[in-house]
Amino acid sequence: MSNIRRLILDVDVPSSAHLMDLAQTLTEVAGVKAVNITVTDTDVDVLGLLIVVDGVGIDYKALEESITSMGGAIRSIDQVIAGEYVLDLDAKKLKDVGD
């Protein structure tokens, strides 16, 4: 069993994609408890999405397959949290690292 608790993904989907259907499909993946989909970019043919997935023991392969089955592509994995609990990074600490 996976110990993944949160994923933040940069995803492109066709502009014809129905985001509510995508959200419903992702919530059906093993281990997923909540999904947040935010449109970050729009084009004639493509929507850029930021997808946040929370849960316990998230099945990444099934998540990836669900996204690709709806015509989407994962551009990058921007955050992974795994383990016994969610360890959040303080935004100030993140800024300090970048300086």
pLDDT tens over the chain, length 99 residues: 689 999 999 999 999 999 999 999 999 999 999 999 999 999 999 999 999 999 999 999 999 999 999 999 999 999 999 998 888 777 666 666 655
* Structural domains in the chain, sorted by start: 4-98 (3.30.70.1340)
Q: In 1-99, where do the E strands start and end?
A: 4-14, 32-42, 46-55, 73-82
Question: How much is the pTM?
Answer: 0.88
CA distance 85 to 89: 13
